[in-house]
Amino acid sequence: NFVLKRYSFQFGFEPFLSNMGQCSCLSFTKTYAESEIEHHMLQHKTTSNGIYKLLLLGTGSSGKSTLFKQFKCLFDPYGLEQHDFQDTVHAIRTNLIESTVKLLLKSEDLYREDSERFADCYMDLENEVLFSHIQNIEKFKSAAVKFQEIDDEKSVALQQLGDSIAFIWKQPAIQCTFKHRGTRFSFMDNMAEFFTKCTEMFASDFYPSKEDVLKCKVMTTGVVCKSYDIRDNFFQIYDVGGQRNERKKWIHIFDNVTAVIFLAALSHFDAVCFEDEK
C-alpha cells in the first residue's frame, strides 16, 4: 500500500487495490494532463472545422493567380508587398522581350506557311535599322539580365532596349502577326497594353502600379497558400500551376476541401494552349 500511494503521488492517479485471491487490480482516474490534451485536441478540431479551404483551379493563363492577387489586395491587412512590385518589374520586362521575339519568329513562320495568305506578316530583315533593333533585343534575351539589379551604367542600354521593342511593335508586319495570336499560337494576355508603354517600363526609375502587378503574367509552379480572416470567417486559399505538368500536384491539396473555384478565360475558347505548340 505504501508503494501504491507513493506511485499515486508521483503520477497523479488514484489506485485502489482489490484482493482477488493472489491478484491485485489497479484502476486509474483521468489526470489533469490527459484532460488538457483532450481539451486541446477538441479545440483544434473545432478550429479546423471552422476553416474554409478554397482551391483555385483551371488551365494555364485562366486567371487563377490574378484572382489570388486580388484576394491579397482586398483582404490582406498589408495588401501587396514590396517584393510583389519588385518582381513585377522583372516579369514585365522579361515578358516584353519574350513576346517580341515570339512575334518575330511567328511572323516568319506564318509567311513561310502561306506566303499569299500571310503576305502582310512578311518582315524585310535586310532593313539595317530593323535588323539592328532585333540584334539589340536578342542580346538582352541571351544575357538573362536580372532587371531588378540594373545600375546606372546599364540604364542607357535598358532605355535603348525599350526603344527597340517600341520600334518593332509599331511595324505593320508585327501588328498583322499579333492579330493571329490565340488561334495560330499561344500568347500572353494584356501584352498590347504593356507594348504601348514599353519605353516607360524600360526606364531605370520605372515602378509598377497595382494594376500592372495584377495584369502581369507570372507562371505559377507548385502550390501557393494564403490565409485570410474575413468577417470572423477563416479562409485558406490555394493557387496552383495550371499547365499540364503541374496538374499532378493538385491531388495533394484535395483533403478537407470546402469548395473548388474553377476558372476559365472567355477569350480562350478557341485559343492554342501553351503545351500544344510545336
Which pLDDT score, from 0 to 100, does residue 245 have?
86
pLDDT string in tens for the chain (278-residue length) = 444 444 444 444 444 444 444 444 444 455 767 776 776 666 555 455 678 999 999 988 899 999 999 999 999 988 899 999 999 999 999 999 999 999 999 999 999 999 999 999 999 988 999 999 999 898 877 555 555 555 566 788 889 999 999 999 999 999 999 999 988 899 999 999 999 999 999 998 899 999 999 999 998 888 999 999 988 889 999 999 988 888 888 988 898 899 999 999 988 888 888 777 76
Which pLDDT score, from 0 to 100, does residue 48 have?
56
Quote the CA–CA distance of 180 and 194 in Å, as a whole number: 18
At which residue does the C-alpha cell 516584353 appear? 96
**Strands 223-230 vs 233-240: parallel, antiparallel or unpaired:** antiparallel
- Contact present, 217 and 64 (Cβ < 8 Å): no
- Contact present, 133 and 139 (Cβ < 8 Å): no
Q: What is the DSSP letter of 273?
A: P
For residue 227, give the C-alpha cell. 490565409
Of 268, 258, 234, the residue nearest 64 (C-alpha) = 268
Which pLDDT score, from 0 to 100, does residue 44 have?
57
Which pLDDT score, from 0 to 100, does residue 47 have?
52
pTM above 0.85?
no
Which pLDDT score, from 0 to 100, does residue 40 have?
62
Which pLDDT score, from 0 to 100, does residue 57 have?
95
Of 163, 153, 159, the residue nearest 100 (C-alpha) = 163
